[in-house]
Structures are given as C-alpha cells and as structure tokens.
Amino acid sequence: MGTINVVLSTLTHEKEYMDKLREVFAPAEFIQLDASDAAGISAVLERADVALLRGDLDERYVKAPKLKWVHCDHAGLNKSARPDVFEKGLNVTSSAGRSGPALAEHCMFFMLTLAYNFPAFYEAQKRHQYGKVEGMGELKALYGRTVGILGMGHTGRELAIRAKAFNMRVLGYRRRYTELPEGVDKLYCKDKGDSIDELLKESDFIAIALPLSDATYNLIGEHELGMMKPNAIIINLGRGSIIDEDALVKALKAGRIAGAGLDTVSKEPLPPDSPLWDCPRLLITPHFTPPVPDKTDRAINVICENARRFRAGEPMLNLLTSEDVYTR
C-alpha cells in the first residue's frame, strides 16, 4: 500500500477538475502552488509524497526526501527520463493518451494530403488552373495500401483502427509482445527479436508514434530511409530526434522517398534557416494537434486511476521505466 499524506500540485486546470483531484487524494493535504513559486515548492517538497506537475520534473524532485510519485501532465517524458530518477526508484507517470484520437487523425491528415498531393492541387486552384497537375495520374488512394506503425501505444492503437477503416493493411511494431491490437494485421516485437526492417520494406506509409529515448534517438537514419520503398511516405508524430533530419533532407531532395509529414522536429521552433523548410514533398505542422473535447477529463482520469493504483500497490498507467532513459 502506498500512503499519501501530502500532495503538491502546480496544475492549472479549472476549479471543477482541481476539486475532483482534492477529493480523490483526500484525506491527504493537497497544496496548490504556482509553478514559479520556487521557495514554496522547495518547502513543500520536504514533506510531499506526491507531486502533480504542469511540466517536467527537475533535480528538486529527485532530491525530495519523501517523494514517491511524480505525475507530469503531458505526454512525452523524455525530459524527465533522467538516470537519477530510476536510481532513486521514483515513480514518474504521464497523461499520455489524452490526445490519442486527435493525433491519429493528424496522421491520417498527413497520409491523405500527401497521397493525394493536395499541395499541388491547391497551388493550381490559386492559379485558377483546372487539372493538369504533374504526376496526378500516378497517385494512389489509401485503400489497399500498407501502413507501418512504429509504436503501439495510445496513438498507435488509435491510428491502427482508423487505417483499417480505410481498408489499409496495418503493420505494427512495439517493444513488448502483446496480442494483436485492434486493426493490426501483423505485429513485430522487440522482445521477440524482431527488428523494424521488414516493416520499413513493406510499408507505403511509416508512422512514428514512439517516445524519445536513448534507444529511439535517430532510430530512422540513412540506412533505414534506404530500406523504404521509393514511393513511401514517412510521418513523425513522436519526437523530432527519432529521425536523423540530415538524412531525411538528403532522401527527400534525392527523391529516394516520396514524401514526409512532420508535426515535430528536433529543434522547436524550427529555425528559419533549417533546410527542412525547402524540402520537396514535405509537410510541416508546428507540434500542434487540435485537442479532443474531453482532453482534460481524460488527463484527470489518468491521475485519479493512478492514485487508486498507487495506494493499492498495483502497476501504474503510463509509468516510466529504465528502458525510457534519455541522456542526450
């Protein structure tokens, strides 16, 4: 059983949600502070068991004498996946999954836009030119094509369902073996000795929905891009550094792959002089996906369920493990 006596929160949700958290953590003392209140946070961390944070943790939380669990209220935890976190045995969880359906839609948007070469048609529309877009006769619909999804977490599973609704063949890759997720035709698993090679070779679309870690940093480089079909498209909704961007620029400019969609890049905001801006057949969105209407509810529900699991000594949702460590 995990005892909770004091909870520190820097969350800024509306009152109804904060009241729900106070109720869930009762009878623990629930202390709400502004994230900029360094002195107040330091004082409370001397006795806090749990911290609920808007952003990522830092060394103050690692050094806190009684802290057992930190929840970071966003998805990617690479900035919190510090080696000292695992050395201390601190439980760190996230709100991953709160935007999974929208992120999956975002990937479908990239797939459809690139498959139909919409930018070229839109430019023709602005010129009042009807038809005669170069290469239009070679375009193919999503129907019957293959999408390979790297990462079968919340977003990957939502994407598989949507891709299958388009009658696509769906391949998935994840670290640990599970039964086939809904919509997935074939699953490759790292713990079974599978690599990503076959998925890369067979797919018309590669969708990256992986977290950033030492293991996934520059996972897609020149060698991996070279395995892809010349008419394949790669999409990144994970973290920018999962793709070697220099290799991607070369592949796009040389026409070795057909296109790419990036919602995340290694340096954000993307500098004006980045070569990515001028790559052919590349779409960029600024790490922004329209939120689902129940995004906050979904995030709060993760915290509430994890509070129950923490007290009951059960495995927690979205828990960082040593496999997630990121030192770069």
328 is catalytic: no
**Which sign does the torsion angle of CA 323, 324, 327, 328 carry?**
positive
**Beta-sheet pairing, 282-284 with 29-32:** unpaired
Catalytic site residue from 47, 281, 287, 305: 287
Q: How does strand 282-284 pair with strand 6-9?
A: unpaired
Q: Is 82 in the active site?
A: no
- Cβ contact 258:233 at 8 Å: yes
CA atoms of 120 and 129, how far apart (whole Å): 11
Q: Cβ contacts of residue 171 below 8 Å, gap of 6+? A: 146, 147, 148, 149, 184, 185, 186, 187, 188, 199, 202, 203
Rounded to whole angstroms, how far apart are CA atoms 309 and 34?
A: 27
Q: Please provide residue 283's backbone torsions phi and psi, each rounded to the nearest 5 degrees.
A: -110, 135
> Is 47 among the catalytic positions?
no
Using CA atoms, how far apart are residues 184 and 205, in angstroms rounded to an integer? 14
Among residues 239, 245, 298, 309, which one is catalytic? 239
Query: What residue type is 76 in one-letter code?
Result: G
Q: Which of 46, 123, 268, 314 is catalytic?
A: 268
Give catalytic residues, as residue numbers.
Answer: 239, 268, 287
